[in-house]
Structure 1
Amino acid sequence: MTQPFIANIRSRGGAARVATLTASGATRGRLRAAVQNGELVRIRKGWLAVPDAPADVIRAVAYGGRLACLSAARFHGLWAPEDDHVHAAIPRHAGRVHGHPEDLIIHWQSTAWSAHSSVVEPVPDLVRQVLLCRPLEDALTVIDSALNTRTLSMAGLAAILDTLPPRFARVIGEVDARSESGLETFCRCRLRPLGISIRSQVRIPGVGRVDLLLGDRIVIEADGAEWHNGSSAFLADRSRDLALVRMGYVVIRVGYAHVVHEWKLIELAIVGLVARGEHRWTAAHHRAGLAR
């Protein structure tokens, strides 16, 4: 039977202080036995974790902190941009972190966090950290994801922005809770300078929702990193594309690598379409009964 303290540790992100566990009813003897039989592992003095705790959590706690920023966003299941670092929030009073590696980014905290809380920063705190740590479009991918999954409200976002310098006030007008992936957010942010309307998750009769609609008729569909050529979704997506083309739309389907690593290819294609006016319905489309 699973011991109550195991569930307690999991509820805190996978690790907890021994003092927290004993305060919740676990005996030190039972905790020692759990370590000996492999139910728990020691991270550092006074800290225990379940063996399958995320590696990033273990590292953050090992250095005296808790998982923060982009690392915490991923833990909470939010979309987050690529990042090879582990982000840890550490109280300033902790002093120098000895021998911390280059791939550890420390977010110094002015106040100590409760030892009885989770070892992963909550969504409002990690959003604030991402805004201060990363470029704006990276932060927007996380915020859009939090809004879309309802782990953050617009009121909650406004409260966060109130604690930041005035330059962050613009964020409230940049977010879009309809965005279902960071790829959509990246595309929206990068296409906005074109000065053409761009809408997320637009429903087109007979087809359903499309990721982005630029102007009247350029549909942008972004396939995530988990998309596979052999999946049934491949055929379904292509059938949707064909239906959209038949209805007069221009469809641009891009992959994760295109958006993240080869954006210029997408930009040049779209700028060319816009320069030719192909983002608008024309008289010919109206005569053919295609314009909507």
Structure 2
Amino acid sequence: MKIDGIDHQRTLRAQGVARAELLRRTAHGEHRTVRPWYVTDAAPTDLLALLELGLRPTCLDAASLHGVWTPPHTGVHVFRPRMLRLPPELEDVRELPLRRGRMKGTGKRPLQRLVLHGPELRSWPDDDPVPDLGLVLEHAARCLPTVKAAVLMESSLQRRLIGRGQLEQVFLRLPKDIRRPL
């Protein structure tokens, strides 16, 4: 899923942007690098906090970015490449000041617990900062209670964000014990 203010280096190169031009843009403050992405001020800060750690949103958090209705939830659902180790301070705490809300009277953002998803991947399956909706729904089916996963899938269909054929492909990737009740 393409997000305003975030471009993968391969995407920019495929569009014909030369390395020298990327270096010039970085030097002039037009964007900054969050490997392997180039980001501008238009990028959502919540998403940038994850990308800076080498993480991507998935499950409920990525579904909401896709426009799927999501039930209220706590924690930030993320996945990471298998080789990535979280910084020591996050390995134990697994909390980040994410979401746009602020705690009353303090002006600070509340901490949100990181919910790490599997399967851990060797590398990202694509160059987008938010995974495609099929992978997001697969992660949701493996993570959430059946009813909540079904709600995400139904919302995706109702809002025409995914087709029945695509959803059937998601089901085929799920184990029988998860697929059957869905």
Instruction: Name the TM tier (shorter chain).
Output: 0.7 to 0.9
Given candidates 105, 122, 145, the residue that maps to 1:135 is 145
Identify the residue that residue 43 of structure 2 maps to in structure 1. Answer: 53
CA contact (8 A) 2:6 2:43 kept: yes
Q: 1:52 to 1:85 in 2, by over 3 A?
A: farther
Identify the residue that residue 144 of structure 1 maps to in structure 2. Answer: 154
Higher helix share: 1
Q: CA deviation at 1:36?
A: 4.2
Query: Percent same amino acid among aligned pairs?
Result: 26
Q: Which has the larger radius of gyration?
A: 1
Q: 1:13 to 1:131 in 2, by over 3 A?
A: farther
For the pair 1:82 / 2:72, whether they are aligned, the reply is yes
Given candidates 15, 24, 33, the residue that maps to 1:42 is 33
CA contact (8 A) 1:14 1:119 kept: no
AA paired with 2:30?
E
Match runs of 1:56-67 below 5 Å: 56-67=46-57
CA contact (8 A) 2:6 2:37 kept: yes
Match runs of 1:158-237 below 5 Å: 158-168=168-178, 169-171=180-182
Tell me the TM-score normalised to structure 2 length. 0.73
Between the aligned partners of 2:167 and 2:149, the Cα distance in structure 1 is: 12
Count of matched residue positions in the alignment of Structure 1 and Structure 2: 159
Identify the residue that residue 21 of structure 1 maps to in structure 2. Answer: 12
Identify the residue that residue 272 of structure 1 maps to in structure 2. Answer: none
How big is each residue's C-alpha offset from its partner over 1:136-175, in whole Å with a ceiling of 9 and x where there is no partner?
Answer: 222122111101012222332232222222222121xxxx
Q: CA deviation at 1:65?
A: 2.9
Q: CA deviation at 1:88?
A: 2.2
Alignment RMSD (CA, Å) = 2.5
How big is each residue's C-alpha offset from its partner over 1:179-212, in whole Å with a ceiling of 9 and x where there is no partner?
Answer: xxxxxxxxxxxxxxxxxxxxxxxxxxxxxxxxxx
Tell me the TM-score normalised to structure 1 length. 0.48
What SS is found at the alignment partner of 2:38?
strand
Between the aligned partners of 2:65 and 2:163, the Cα distance in structure 1 is: 19
Structure 2 spans left out of the alignment, 5+ residues: 96-112
Q: 1:20 to 1:153 in 2, by over 3 A?
A: closer
What SS is found at the alignment partner of 1:48?
strand
Q: 1:124 to 1:19 in 2, by over 3 A?
A: closer
CA contact (8 A) 2:2 2:130 kept: no
Structure 1 spans left out of the alignment, 5+ residues: 1-9, 172-292
How big is each residue's C-alpha offset from its partner over 1:94-124, in whole Å with a ceiling of 9 and x where there is no partner?
Answer: 2322233322222233342245x21111111
